[in-house]
C-alpha cells in the first residue's frame, strides 16, 4: 500500500469521529442581545407645552400658574373675577393654550410651558413671610429669584422671630396639597426655652393642652441639650397654626427664646444651606415631590429621598450673609 493511500484512509477515519462538546460550544454562534435591555426608561422629562386644541379645566390651569390653590381658583371663578376670551368664566369651563385668560387686568399665561419650580430657603430671624407689610419690614421674597410668568408661593409660614426651612413653589396645587390638614404633614423644630421641662410636663405636651384656638399637642417632645437655664428640645407638630410651638410652651410658663424649623414633611433643611440663601430642586426632584403628593401617577419602583440640587443663590444673586 502506497503512502498516499495510507494518508487517505487516516483522513477518512478522522472525519468520521464526532466533534467534541467543547469544540461545539466554542464554534457556536453567540446569542443575540435582547434589544429591550438597551432601552432606558426616560425619567425626569421636562413638561411639554399644552398642544393647541387640548383643553383642561380652567381652575386646574390657573392653579398651575401659581396664582393660588385650585379651591381658591374655583372661588375666583364663582365671583366672576376670571375672564376667558373677554367673557366672564364659569366653573367647569375648559381652556386650551390658544385661549386668552385674564385675572383682573392681568393676562395669565396658560400655555403650560412653565414647569413647576421648587425652592428651599433658610429664613433668618427678622424677615416676614408676606409681600404686604404695613411696617415695611424686610420680607423673604426679596432674596429669591424672580420666576417667569409665575410667582412664589410659600408652603407654610414662619413668624417674624422664627428661622429655618421654608419651601416655595410656583404651583398653587402643589402648595395646597403639602399644606392641607388631611395630609398630616409633620413639622419638626428645635426650640430653646428658658428653663427645663419635667417628665410630667413633657407628657402633658404630648397628650395635649388647651389653647385659645383649640386643642394643641406635640407628636414628639424630647430634650437635646443646652447649658445652664437654656435648654433645647426637639418637637414635632402636624399643624401649621400661628405660633403653635411657642404657645404650647407658654401654656406651661416657658418662654421660647429661639425656634428653628429643620424639617417639613420629608424635606430636611440641608446643613450647607446658610441663612438667607436658597437652593432649587432639579426637575426630577420636583416630579418626585409631586408623586409623593399624589399629583402624578405613582412609579412602582422605590424612590430615593428628595435632595436639593447643588445650585445656590450664590450663583445668581448676592445676598447679605448673616452669621449662623
Separation CA 245–CA 132 (nearest Å): 25
* Per-residue buried b or exposed e for 219-239, using 16+ beta carbons within 10 Å of the residue's own CB: eebeeeeeeeeebebbbebee
Is residue 143 a contact partner of residue 313, using CB atoms and an 8 Å limit? yes
Phi, psi dihedrals of residue 11, rounded to the nearest 5°: -65, -35
Q: Which residues are catalytic?
A: 159
Is residue 129 a contact partner of residue 154, using CB atoms and an 8 Å limit? yes
Residue 258: alpha-carbon gap to chain centroid: 26
Strand ranges inside 180-273, DSSP E: 187-194, 209-211, 214-216, 220-227, 230-237, 256-264, 267-268
H helix or E strand, kind and range, residue 175: helix 172-179
| Measured torsion, CA atoms of residues 174, 82, 110, 151, in degrees rounded to the nearest 10 | -50
Q: How many CB atoms lie within 10 A of CB 156?
A: 17
Contacts of 208 (CB under 8 A, 6+ apart): 215, 216, 217
Amino acid at each position: 500500500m502506497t503512502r498516499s493511500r495510507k494518508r487517505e484512509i487516516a483522513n477518512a477515519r478522522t472525519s468520521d469521529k464526532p466533534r467534541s462538546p467543547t469544540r461545539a460550544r466554542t464554534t457556536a454562534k453567540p446569542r443575540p442581545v435582547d434589544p429591550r435591555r438597551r432601552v432606558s426608561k426616560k425619567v425626569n422629562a421636562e413638561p411639554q407645552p399644552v398642544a393647541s386644541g387640548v383643553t383642561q379645566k380652567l381652575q386646574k390651569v390657573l392653579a398651575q400658574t401659581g396664582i393660588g390653590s385650585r379651591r381658591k381658583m374655583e372661588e375666583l371663578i364663582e365671583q366672576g373675577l376670571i375672564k376667558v376670551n373677554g367673557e366672564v368664566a364659569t366653573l367647569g369651563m375648559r381652556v386650551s393654550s390658544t385661549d386668552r385668560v385674564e385675572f383682573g387686568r392681568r393676562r395669565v399665561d396658560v400655555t403650560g410651558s412653565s414647569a413647576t419650580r421648587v425652592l428651599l430657603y433658610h429664613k433668618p430671624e427678622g424677615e416676614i413671610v408676606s409681600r404686604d407689610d404695613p411696617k415695611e419690614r424686610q420680607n423673604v421674597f426679596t432674596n429669591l429669584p424672580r420666576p417667569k410668568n409665575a410667582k412664589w408661593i410659600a408652603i407654610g409660614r414662619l413668624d417674624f422671630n422664627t428661622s429655618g426651612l421654608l419651601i416655595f413653589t410656583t404651583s398653587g396645587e402643589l402648595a395646597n396639597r403639602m399644606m392641607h390638614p388631611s395630609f398630616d404633614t409633620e413639622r419638626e423644630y428645635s426650640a430653646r426655652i428658658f428653663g427645663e421641662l419635667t417628665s410630667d410636663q413633657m407628657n402633658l405636651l404630648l397628650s395635649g393642652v388647651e389653647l385659645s384656638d383649640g386643642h394643641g399637642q406635640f407628636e414628639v417632645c424630647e430634650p437635646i441639650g443646652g447649658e445652664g437655664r437654656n435648654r433645647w428640645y426637639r418637637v414635632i407638630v402636624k399643624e401649621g397654626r400661628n405660633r403653635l410651638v411657642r404657645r404650647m410652651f407658654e401654656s406651661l410658663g416657658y418662654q421660647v427664646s429661639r425656634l428653628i424649623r429643620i424639617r417639613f414633611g420629608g424635606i430636611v433643611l440641608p446643613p450647607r444651606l446658610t441663612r438667607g440663601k436658597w437652593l432649587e430642586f432639579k426637575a426630577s426632584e420636583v416630579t418626585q415631590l409631586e408623586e409623593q403628593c399624589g399629583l402624578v401617577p405613582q412609579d412602582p419602583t422605590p424612590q430615593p429621598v428628595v435632595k436639593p440640587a447643588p445650585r445656590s443663590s450664590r450663583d445668581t444673586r448676592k445676598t447679605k450673609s448673616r452669621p449662623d
